[in-house]
Amino acid sequence: MFASAPASSLHLSHAAFGTRRPRLARYRSSLASSSSSGAAPPPANANHHIQTLCANGRLARAAALLPGLPAPTQRTYESLLLAAARAGDAALAAAVHRRLEADPVFRSDPFLSTRLIESYAALGALPAARQVFDEAPEKSIFVWNALLKALALADHGDEALARLSDMGWLGVPVDSYSYTHGLKACIAVSASHAPASARVREVHAHAIRRGYALHTHVATTLIDCYAKLGIVSYAESVFAAMPERNVVSWSAMIGCYAKNERPADAIELFKDMMASDPDLVPNSITIVSVMNACAGVNALGHGKLLHAYILRRGFHSLVSVLNALMAMYMRCGCLEDGRHIFNWIGHRRDVVSWNSLISGYGMHGFGREAIQVFEEMVQVGLSPSIITFISVLGACSHAGLVDEGKELFESMVDYSVKPRAEHYACMVDLLGRAGQLDEAVELIESMHIEPSPQVWGALLGACRIHGHVEYAEMACSHLFDLEPRNAGNYVLLADIYARAKLQNQVDVLKDLLEEHALEKVTGCSWIEVKKKLHSFTSVDNKNPPVEQLQALIGEFVAEMKNEGYVPDTGIVHYDIEEEEKERILLGHSEKLAVAFGLINTGSGEVIRITKNLRLCEDCHSVTKFISKFTEREIVVKDVNRFHHFRDGTCSCGDYW
């Protein structure tokens, strides 16, 4: 409570005010004259003046006034440090640091130590941030947390976790932010000797014991960490247990599904979010995640609804949202709409905008158009990024542009982009698809870095296309060591053996799969009908709707057989009768999705399907026939690229 003022002080005479006015006028006059003459403002206003300069971005003037300031306030120091961090001015931060060290009033202030560490962290000056921490006389929890955050941001995760452990030994009471920074540090040390997942679970358990695991921002960070690690079930458990959720929490879980190949779940969760609380407004991160999910399952209807929402809410002012919108249209097969969004972004285009357009053309097999966009990007003065080269090399691979791809790969050095494993994988894929397997192997052997699973996987995929057993075995000898739990590599090699009539080797691989309890990824296809997603899996399903769909496909297959079609039963690795193998082929998920689309969409409507695996040769042949027989356009997006089926032909030219 404030003390009441004495009654006498409330009864000042008019004369009292009158005697002060001339003095006040003279003071204002002197202020005006000193300001007009360029002299420094009086000490009483100097702190406020520097704070105003910082707020207006006039840092040079603010820095010039600091040495002559007799008594900087805490607010002045803070304003200078925040402004230095925003402007990337390391010299100003260092000048403030020196002044603080000489200041008898504030040199021990933990608040300013915290701000100084945060500024150095933002400027990338980690050694200076460490120095401030080490020399801070009073290390409050805020000072500790500032250092933890600085270390995590700088990818010094091991050190951050060691400091977090020190807090326990020294009896420093951790708080929810300590755990948040510690969890981010776990991800930063993912390449160290201890797996990141084990570190995250350890910090998670510690947070549970201390009662912080359900704090909104700790739980949200946990969801984000588990999403990055691909442990979706743990993220789901954390999300389900949260007593309170904000838009960031919902966005983290939606993003988790979108990043981990569960786009349909991401879309459904977004619907739940919108229905849960009318006051819960999605932010740009939410919108981008849902847009990516729509692209993941070819959910064009949902994507168009989001487009309308973006326009209503004003999100179209954000380039990140427009980039995601453009990518959604292109990844749903609507190239012209995607190009329209790209043109709409105009002068605000960033490297992500260009990358999305290049990638979009590449996915649809328009390699030359992708190269043309790459050249336009360079002409407008934007430097290609690591992702740019992955996109354009991938476009060359899908279009069989071997010479152009080689030239682009060799040009990376001109843009100071050092080839990574992903770029080598693109080149191996490019050469391998074109049948130049010897050259692909030579490239792998000449790599300056250790070949990754992506590189060997690209070689294995090429061997499947061309039936090369020896190189396939070479690739798998490495893949079985690098990815011992990836059943897909065993299945691909078994397919190569089966086509080479090496049944004994097929049986050995099947035994290995059973021995190690490895299960191959189930084929799944999605189709959106009337803004509702439907999924189909390649499993033996006896329910009547699936039998009806198989019967419809069977009718098409019978017609095809009359024209010379022979089912490709070689991809069925079971020792069963041919008739039973043909029945299994009828149950492939993409065939079921096509049949469902034919039954449930109107004449002339485009059927859009997404599959989580590579489109098999038999489904490719059957879909070509159906497109001609029904006079329907069918767009199928598999794990590699788009296939536009029209009039019995495919846009890929049977090159995929």
pLDDT averages per 10-residue partition of the chain, 656 residues = 34 34 37 40 76 92 90 94 93 93 91 96 94 92 95 89 90 92 83 73 92 94 94 96 95 95 93 91 94 92 94 92 96 94 95 96 95 97 96 96 97 95 97 97 96 97 95 97 93 92 91 89 91 83 75 94 89 82 92 95 93 92 95 94 95 89
The structure tokens listed for 621 are 């042949």
H-type alpha helices, 446-543 = 453-466, 469-482, 487-499, 503-515
Who's near 79: CB < 8 A, 6+ residues apart? 50, 51, 54, 55, 62
pLDDT value of residue 189: 63
The structure tokens listed for 243 are 């007593």
Q: How far is CA 530 from the centre of its chain?
A: 29
526: β partners: 535, 610
**From the CB of residue 409, how many other CB atoms can be counted at a distance below 10 Å?**
20
The structure tokens listed for 205 are 């358990």
Identify the DSSP state of 576. Answer: S
pLDDT value of residue 543: 52
527: β partners: 534, 609
The dihedrals phi and psi of 427, each to the nearest 5 degrees, come to -70, -40
What is each CA distance from 475 to 342, 464, 492, in whole angstroms? 40, 11, 11
Task: Give the whole-angstrom CA distance, residue 188 versus residue 149.
Answer: 11
Q: Contact, 385 vs 423, CB < 8 A?
A: no
The structure tokens listed for 634 are 């069918």
pLDDT value of residue 356: 96
Taking the C-alpha atoms of 147, 152, 158 and 160 in order, what is their torsion angle to the nearest 10 degrees?
A: 20
pLDDT value of residue 35: 38
pLDDT value of residue 121: 94
**198-215: burial string, b at 16+ Cβ within 10 Å, e else:** ebbbebbebbeeeebbbb
Task: Give the whole-angstrom CA distance, residue 457 versus residue 438.
Answer: 16
What is each CA distance from 417 to 162, 306, 357, 411, in whole angstroms? 34, 36, 20, 9
What is each CA distance from 382 to 316, 350, 351, in whole angstroms? 23, 8, 7
What's the alpha-carbon Rg for the chain, to the nearest Å?
32
H-type alpha helices, 37-109 = 43-55, 59-65, 74-87, 90-101
Q: Contact, 115 vs 81, CB < 8 A?
A: yes
Task: Give the whole-angstrom CA distance, residue 169 versus residue 154.
Answer: 24
pLDDT value of residue 195: 82
Q: Which of 249, 284, 286 is nearest to 267 (CA)?
A: 286
pLDDT value of residue 545: 81
Question: pTM to 2 decimals?
Answer: 0.79
Q: Which of 241, 202, 201 is nearest to 220 (CA)?
A: 241
Strand stretches in 219-356, DSSP E: none
Task: Give the whole-angstrom CA distance, residue 246 versus residue 249.
Answer: 5
Taking the C-alpha atoms of 617, 622, 624 and 626 in order, what is their torsion angle to the nearest 10 degrees?
A: -160
**288-325: burial string, b at 16+ Cβ within 10 Å, e else:** bbbbbbbbbbbbbbbbbebbeebeeeebbebeebbbbb
Q: Contact, 627 vs 648, CB < 8 A?
A: yes
The structure tokens listed for 417 are 């982009």
